[in-house]
Structure 1
Amino acid sequence: MEPFVLKNQSYLTIESWTKQFPGLSAGITTKRGGESKGSFETLNLGFHVGDEKSSVCLNREKVAELLEFPLNCWVGAEQTHDIAVKKITKADRGKGSNSYEHSFKGTDGFYTNEEGILLTLCFADCVPLFFIAPEKKMIGVAHAGWKGTVGKIANEMIQAWGREGIKPEEIIVAIGPSICEKCYLVDERIINLVENTLVDKGRLPYNLIEEGQYSLDLRELNRQILLEAEVPNQNILSTGFCSSCNQEEFFSHRRDQGGTGRMLSFIGWKEITDRL
């Protein structure tokens, strides 16, 4: 069953989570329903891609209104395709919400157990990983392109939560809309790095297409890394949505040859007062 459900033209939610856990907002935006023009049509939420800043800010205000999660409660990052994850507190609210310059530097994952914070990251093919340990109220999100994936950012989050006293079996993970294996072709250099990442060589997340060219399933590779980190298989949800195949719904860096906008992954607990 597809975990990501379209709520309106502008975003999808992880429906089973938002139904099961009151006050949780979690999902990813689409490319529709915004103010951006040209190759950024229309709901571009990335400041760093060459779009008009005023359009991005308007788009973010629209999403904040749709989610009923004020923009001054958001946090954002200068994502560098690395594996640094950061714990966020209420003191951090607003950083990166309305400008790229004031976002967290060199960060590709956020987590928190506090209410009133919306953790956000930008995507256009890379894999968004959503984490929740409901008993401990811990939530998180990570950005896993091929570099972050082979660097095991998924495991980095599990280890960080372990230091918070959270066991892998307490963690549920959702693997979000991203480029599928049919659309993602890579060379042998990347496959060599993937092979070094794999512990279980039984199910390879890639296929040889022709000499020196492979299709790579980044979602499956992240699933294997999570299993290796001892997250139970039944605790891992995975989407069927491809950012490249679904041209009407999503931006795709690969498909659009770099000239494109960014979707926004989001996860946060609304404050109790907001739910009354």
Structure 2
Amino acid sequence: MEPFAYDHQSFLSIKNWMEQYPRLVAGITTKKGGSSTGVFEYLNMGFHVGDQREAVCHNRNKVAEFIQFPVEHWVGAEQTHETLIRKITSTDRGFGADTYETAFKGTDGFYTNEEGILLTLCYADCVPLFFISPEHRMIGSAHAGWKGTVNEIARKMVEQWGEEGILPNQIFVTIGPSICEKCYIVNDYVINFVENTLVDVEEKPYNLINDGQYTLDLRKLNKIILLKAGVPADHIQITKLCSSCDQFEFFSHRRDQGKTGRMLSYIGWKETTE
């Protein structure tokens, strides 16, 4: 079953999670409904791609209004395709929310167990990973391009949660819209890193199509890494939505030859209003 569904043209929500946990907000934006122009039309959420800051802020404010989560409670990152994951508290709210300069440096993952914080990361083909441990009220997100994937950012999230007393079988993961295996062609250099990650794993997430060229399923590779880390198979759900295939819904760095906007993944607990 497809885990993502439209609540609005501008974003897709993780429906089953939000139905189970009414104060949870979790999903990813599309490219529709914003005010950016040119190669960034329309709902570009990334400050770092050359778009006008005013347009990005307008887009972010629009999404904030729709999901009912104020921008000043967001946190964002300067993503570097590495594996640094930060635990976020209420004192961090607002960093990277309305300017790239204040974003957390060199960071590709966040997690928190506090209410009133929206964890956000930007994408245009890389794999969004959403994490939740309901009984511990812990939520997280990670940005997994091929480098972050082969360096096992997914496993590192599970391990950091282990330090918080959370067992792998208490973790649920949703793997979000990203480039599919048919659209993602890589060379021997990348596959060598993949092979090093897949020691003692028989199932391969890639296929040889020409001499030195392979299709690579990054979503499947992340699932394999999560399974190795101890997350049960039935705790992992994967989208079939491809950022490259659907040019009307998503930005794609590869399809658009590097000149494009960014979608925004988000996950957060709304504050209790009592």
TM-score range, shorter chain: over 0.9
1:125, distance to aligned residue in structure 2 (A) = 0.1
For 1:143-202, what per-residue CA distance to the aligned partner results, in whole angstroms no more than 9, with x for missing partners?
A: 000000000000010000000000000000000000000000001010000000013432
The question of whether the paired residues in 2 share the 8 Å contact of 1:199 and 1:228 is answered with no
1:6, distance to aligned residue in structure 2 (A) = 1.2
The 2-side partners of 1:7 and 1:67 are apart by 9
The 2-side partners of 1:17 and 1:99 are apart by 30
1:7, distance to aligned residue in structure 2 (A) = 1.1
For 1:80-110, what per-residue CA distance to the aligned partner results, in whole angstroms no more than 9, with x for missing partners?
A: 0000000000000000000000000000000
Structure 2 gaps of 5+ residues are none
Residue equivalent to 2:215:
215
Note the 1:189-208 alignment, pairs <5 A. 189-208=189-208
The question of whether the paired residues in 2 share the 8 Å contact of 1:123 and 1:265 is answered with yes
| Secondary structure at 1:148 match in 2 | helix
Residue equivalent to 2:140:
140
Residue 233 (structure 2) pairs with residue 255 (structure 1): no
The question of whether the paired residues in 2 share the 8 Å contact of 1:174 and 1:238 is answered with yes
Residue 188 (structure 2) pairs with residue 179 (structure 1): no
1:22, distance to aligned residue in structure 2 (A) = 1.6
The 1-side partners of 2:201 and 2:27 are apart by 32
Residue 91 (structure 2) pairs with residue 91 (structure 1): yes
| Secondary structure at 1:98 match in 2 | coil
Structure 1 residue runs of 4 or more that deviate by more than 3 Å after TM superposition: none
Residue equivalent to 2:269:
269
Residue equivalent to 2:41:
41
Which residue identity does 2:102 align to in structure 1? H
Residue 102 (structure 2) pairs with residue 120 (structure 1): no
The 1-side partners of 2:204 and 2:96 are apart by 37
Note the 1:13-92 alignment, pairs <5 A. 13-92=13-92
Which residue identity does 1:8 align to in structure 2? H
The 1-side partners of 2:226 and 2:134 are apart by 18
Which residue identity does 1:251 align to in structure 2? F
Number of residues of Structure 1 aligned to a counterpart in Structure 2: 274
The 2-side partners of 1:27 and 1:61 are apart by 16
Which residue identity does 1:210 align to in structure 2? N
The 2-side partners of 1:124 and 1:30 are apart by 10
Note the 1:3-22 alignment, pairs <5 A. 3-22=3-22
The question of whether the paired residues in 2 share the 8 Å contact of 1:77 and 1:108 is answered with yes
Which residue identity does 1:10 align to in structure 2? S
The 2-side partners of 1:199 and 1:12 are apart by 35
The 2-side partners of 1:73 and 1:111 are apart by 14
Structure 1 gaps of 5+ residues are none
For 1:213-270, what per-residue CA distance to the aligned partner results, in whole angstroms no more than 9, with x for missing partners?
A: 1110000000000000000000000000000001110000000000000000000000
| Secondary structure at 1:222 match in 2 | helix
| Secondary structure at 2:174 match in 1 | strand
For 1:97-141, what per-residue CA distance to the aligned partner results, in whole angstroms no more than 9, with x for missing partners?
A: 000000000000000000000000000000000000000000000
- The alignment-based identity, stated in percent, is 66
The question of whether the paired residues in 2 share the 8 Å contact of 1:179 and 1:243 is answered with yes
The 2-side partners of 1:113 and 1:103 are apart by 20
Which residue identity does 1:4 align to in structure 2? F
| Secondary structure at 1:47 match in 2 | coil
| Secondary structure at 2:48 match in 1 | helix
Under a length normalisation based on structure 2, what TM-score does the superposition of the two structures give? 0.99
